[in-house]
């Protein structure tokens, strides 16, 4: 709470009273704190790959270049770290556009069965590599929905890519669509992966929050995938929820309003 006191001056009478303004600054402080955390996180996330790139470049300079096998490995590390930085900056720009409403939705009638088939196709190589089986189920009667296909593709890509990253070889992923009511559609991505501890569930959509930072980084993650998914779904007037059981698996469900004509839900 911030208290500001201002004296009331009356001509010839000096101070005749005081105005006290009580201001609740808790919300302001919370926002400022999360802004500071965000900047610290971004700096850290960029510094880590830069430090790695620097040390591997120095090692190449110091002689690793003359050993072809070692040199090649070091160049591979530099390329991976650079790609991760590009992904991070791309994700940050995307989030910033979403935050400032500079990513207007271009809704089109979109076939849900086709959209789900295509997301599974995009990841078929990665799933095959980990011997993960995928199943797609779409409830009868679900055909097309008005949505921004590019943006919802990004949501589905983030969810399916997480499901693959955090599922062990030989696991299973299900992508399903059903109607929880007459005015909305629910799309779920369910995996039989490592799951998320209960204590982390409440923060899992926070920017840069990861259960296991090292694991996420090794998998090429930026820690922004779920936050981006949530912002895109919110812009569509929908919600996204996550259920998880440690060592059993995770289900992420996106609920979108079924619009008749592409109009805004609000
Ligand atoms: P990341 O790039 O680290 O995957 P996300 O924002 O997509 O970032 O996810 C945040 C964290 O949530 C991940 O680091 C991981 O710990 C956890 N997570 C997300 N999806 C899953 C999943 N399907 N199974 C287990 N953990 C998950």
pLDDT (tens digit, 9 = 90+) per residue, 24-37? Answer: 778 888 888 888 98
Examine the pLDDT at 264 and tell me if it is beyond 80: no
- When pLDDT is averaged across residues 129-152 and rounded to a whole number, the result is 95
195 in Cβ contact with 262 (< 8 Å): no
Instruction: Give the model's pLDDT for residue 5.
Output: 85
What's the whole-model pTM score? 0.85
Examine the pLDDT at 265 and tell me if it is beyond 70: no
Instruction: Give the model's pLDDT for residue 28.
Output: 84
Please give the number of the atom of ligand 1 that sits closest to the Cα of 223.
Answer: 8
The C-alpha atoms of residue 223 and residue 238 are separated, in whole angstroms, by: 22
- When pLDDT is averaged across residues 228-244 and rounded to a whole number, the result is 97
Examine the pLDDT at 250 and tell me if it is beyond 80: yes
Instruction: Choose the residue to mutate in 45, 134, 165, 203 for probing ligand 1, maximizing ligand atoms within 8 Å of C-beta.
Output: 165
CA atoms within 13 A on the CB side of 101: 2
Q: How far is the CA of 3 from the centre of ligand 1 (A)?
A: 43
Q: Assess whether the C-beta atom of 211 lies below 6 angstroms from ligand 1.
A: yes
For the chain, percent of residues with pLDDT exceeding 70: 97
- When pLDDT is averaged across residues 223-252 and rounded to a whole number, the result is 97
Output the average pLDDT for the chain.
92
Examine the pLDDT at 115 and tell me if it is beyond 60: yes
Q: How confident is the model at residue 260 (pLDDT cuts 50, 70, 90)?
A: low
Residue 111: Cβ-neighbour burial (10 angstroms; 0-12, 13-18, 19+): middle
Bigger pLDDT: 137 vs 32: 137
Examine the pLDDT at 160 and tell me if it is beyond 60: yes
Residues facing residue 14 across a β-bridge: 10
ipTM reported for the complex, 2 dp: 0.98
Nearest residue to 229 via CA among 205, 193, 198 = 205
pLDDT (tens digit, 9 = 90+) per residue, 41-91? Answer: 999 999 999 999 999 999 999 998 899 999 999 999 999 999 999 999 999
Please give the number of the atom of ligand 1 that sits closest to the Cα of 194.
Answer: 25
**DSSP label at residue 94:** H
Core vs surface per residue 65-103: b (16+ CB within 10 A) or e: eeeeeeeeebeebbeebeebbeebeebbebbeebeeeeb
């Amino acid at each position: 709470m911030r208290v500001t006191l201002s004296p009331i001056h009356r001509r010839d009478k000096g101070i005749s009273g005081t105005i006290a303004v009580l201001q609740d600054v808790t919300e302001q402080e919370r926002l400022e704190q999360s802004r500071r955390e965000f900047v610290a996180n971004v700096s850290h996330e960029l510094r880590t790959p830069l430090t790695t790139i620097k040390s591997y470049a120095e090692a190449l300079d110091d002689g690793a270049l003359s050993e072809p096998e070692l040199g090649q490995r070091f160049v591979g590390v530099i390329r991976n770290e650079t790609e991760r930085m590009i992904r991070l900056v791309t994700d940050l720009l995307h989030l910033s556009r979403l935050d400032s409403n500079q990513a207007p939705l271009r809704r089109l009638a979109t076939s849900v069965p086709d959209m789900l088939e295509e997301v599974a196709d995009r990841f078929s190589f990665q799933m095959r590599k980990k011997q993960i089986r995928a199943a797609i189920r779409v409830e009868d009667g679900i055909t097309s929905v008005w949505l921004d296909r590019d943006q919802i593709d990004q949501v589905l890509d983030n969810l399916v890519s997480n499901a693959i990253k955090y599922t062990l070889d030989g696991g299973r992923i299900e992508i399903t669509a059903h109607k929880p009511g007459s005015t909305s559609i629910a799309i779920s991505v369910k995996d039989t992966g490592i799951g998320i501890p209960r204590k982390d569930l409440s923060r899992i959509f926070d920017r840069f929050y990861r259960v296991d930072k090292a694991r996420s980084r090794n998998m090429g993650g930026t820690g922004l995938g779920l936050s981006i998914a949530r912002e895109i779904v919110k812009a569509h007037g929908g919600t996204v929820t996550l259920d998880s059981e440690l060592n059993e698996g995770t289900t992420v469900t996106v609920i979108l309003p079924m619009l008749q004509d592409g109009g805004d839900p609000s």
